[in-house]
Chain A
Amino acid sequence: MELQDLQESVNIKMIQSGEKERLKDLLRERLAECGWEDEMRALCRGFMRNKVTNSVKLDDLINEITPKGKETVPDNVKAELLQRIRSFIAYAV
């Protein structure tokens, strides 16, 4: 099976079993707990404040913040999610 197909089928399984939603909830919880969410909010505020015009578009904001956000996710959160995904795959396949 092609890698892409495999990814797609795992993805669909995750959605159908509801595991994806659970993972999303867990991630949200963890990111709020460790202060990452507040950090991102502060970054967004800073970005908007530095703009002269009053109209920052959602797209601009996402473009600007996404790379920084991906970088600053704490390693232990990544590790925990990875662990959960591994055990899901082991269970499902």
Chain B
Amino acid sequence: MSSKINGQVSPHSCSHLLQFRRRNGPDSFRALQDCLRVKPPGGRASIRRDPAEVPCCQACGESGSNRLYACVTCAAVSCHAPQLTSHAAAHAQSMSPGHEIAVDVDRAELFCCECRDQVYDQGFDAAFVLAQNTATTTTGSTLMQYSAEPGNLRKRRRVDYRHWSPDSRECVTMTNLSTPLYDSTNSSDVPWGLRGLNNLGNTCFMNSVLQALLHTPLLRNYFLSDRHNRYHCQQKNVANNDGKNGRLCLACDVDAMFSAVFSGDRTPYSPAKFLYSWWQHAANLASYEQQDAHEFFISMLHRIHEKEEKDQGKPHSQGSGDCCIAHRVFSGILRSDVMCMACGFTSTTYDPCIDFPLDLEPNRGGSAKSSSTKSHNSCNVEAERISLNKDCSISTLKGCLERFTRPERLGSDQKFFCQKCQVRQECLKQMSIRKLPLVSCFHIKRFEHSSIRKMSRKVDGHLQFPFSLDMAPYLSSSILRSRFGHRIFPFDGDEQDAPNDLSSEFELFAVVTHTGRLDAGHYVTYLRFSNQWYKCDDAWITQVSENIVRAAQGYMMFYVQKMLCYRASEK
């Protein structure tokens, strides 16, 4: 009886609900649709025959403290207190059979008074979501704006992983055309490819990010399997006669670096050629000054993407995941819902993203957030801070993600133009993740630039991060589901071929940390190889214990999907 809808197992229907449906046919809940009342901002739903009705129990007149249920057969409202008397259950028994199913008047959820449990009905939930959408928008449909058409929404067929091993002819070709690594016996037990990077003058910001990228499984496999061959790429560029600019290819330098790092040579490597190339790409950053590691990361991925785009001659929307290796690995899609507080009109936008910027301090995140809290009660901000400190004295990555996806009331200074009201209104904004990247990079905003005070500062607080992370609660599908209550209904992000829950499970493999002050600090990367951690401090690589990593001040965290799904490529 239990069936699977969009990866969600729907619970067993109780026999009373089945009987009710059988008696009343497909339109069992038609009458309820007219009683559904939705409060515009936030869209919480309730059941009232008349908008001003104050429901109270028919048996005892109770209207305050207990749950109230309306019988879906005769509309009688009864109270239900689990421990004490239940007039709802009494009603079901006295009118039996046929009066077991009732609807919670304040939640618009179904309940079986005989089984004394919540029940779920797909038809009811579908009708409910439809009615709620119509109620909030009145125009009949939620208007969607696509700032970037998410290209990955096209359905892709999943394919099975097929193991490949070379046949004898291919073996011969491989031995003839490749140079064997000089020390393939690998005497030390240091993982393959772990090599220090020399500091070329305040370049620890670059080295730390490069270490993380060099050991990103998907990038490593891409470059080591010769998918971007620098010799081939150069030949192609000469043939195309692109001129000076066309010859620059950052991916070629990355390819060269991969070859050098995985050559087996253990002496520290100097990424001088790479640095020089990057300077040519980003002229404004070409100096021996300390730079921001995150800025470098973004700039580097952007250059790789740009080149690819130029070569293919057609612009790809970022986030589609079909363009360059950088975006295939790191890009995801964010969904942002802005709901007008006056009419409930919701405008949805999808934006590609390369990483997730997270605020470290709860009260500092958005000025709007704290100001809205202030408007409620000025002393409460302080109280909230105290209670937060009491409950979780240390901030966690999960806490940051929760704040990232929590609905945020935009203050009066950030009014939003509502398309329906045709004026600027106060609104509620909520972010969620529409599509997860294969590798999620979390950027903790430790450097704060205040334009008002014309100064910058570093946020030094410690952040706990798990080695294994489930991203499911932050997905659009989960966020929407919690907005609509407990329903069985396909929401955004529930694709029919949606991979199982495993694809939201992530595993930590690199942490870029920052120590010191804003203007004079040092970046160090910690890398994980089969549960053993290594500290990469420029040229020096040392094995460290897990606790050192946990205590470090994380600036960028790199997580990779635990289970990668193979999908048929469109090419």
Chain A residues at the B interface, C-beta cutoff of 8 Å: 7-8, 11-12, 15-16, 21, 25-26, 32-35, 55, 57-60, 62-63, 66, 74, 76, 80
- Look across to chain B and name the residue whose beta carbon is closest to the beta carbon of A63: B82
User: Which stretch in B248-256, B345-353, B386-394 binds the other chain?
Assistant: B386-394
CA–CA, A33 and B376, complex, Å: 14
Residues of B within 8 A of A (CB-CB), count: 25
Interface assignment of B246: CB less than 8 Å from any CB of chain A: no
For B342-360 the 0/1 string (1 means CB < 8 A from A) is 0000000000000000000
* A33-B384 contact in complex given A58-B117, A80-B377, C-beta closer than 8 Å: yes
* A25-B42 contact in complex given A12-B54, A16-B54, A76-B380, C-beta closer than 8 Å: yes
Interface assignment of B63: CB less than 8 Å from any CB of chain A: yes
Closest 9 CB pairs of A and B: A57-B117, A76-B383, A59-B82, A59-B116, A58-B118, A62-B82, A35-B391, A34-B387, A15-B54
Interface assignment of B191: CB less than 8 Å from any CB of chain A: no
Chain A residues within 8 Å of B83, by CB: 63
Chain A residues within 8 Å of B387, by CB: 34-35, 74, 76
- Main SS of the interface on chain B? loop
**Please, could you name 9 A-B residue pairs with CB atoms under 8 Å apart, sorted by A?**
A12-B54, A21-B39, A25-B42, A35-B387, A58-B116, A59-B117, A62-B82, A66-B82, A76-B387
Other contacts beyond A58-B118, A62-B82: 12, CB < 8 A? A16-B54, A25-B42, A25-B44, A32-B406, A33-B388, A35-B387, A35-B388, A35-B392, A59-B82, A59-B116, A59-B117, A76-B383
B residues 373-431 touching A (CB-CB < 8 Å): 376-377, 380, 383-384, 386-388, 391-392, 406
CA–CA, A62 and B86, complex, Å: 14
CA–CA, A62 and B80, complex, Å: 11
* A26-B376 contact in complex given A35-B391, A62-B82, C-beta closer than 8 Å: yes
* A57-B115 contact in complex given A34-B387, A35-B391, C-beta closer than 8 Å: yes
CA–CA, A12 and B391, complex, Å: 36
Tell me if B117 and A80 are in contact (CB < 8 A): no
CA–CA, A57 and B39, complex, Å: 29
Chain B residues within 8 Å of A59, by CB: 82, 116-117
For B20-54 the 0/1 string (1 means CB < 8 A from A) is 00000000000000000001001010000000101
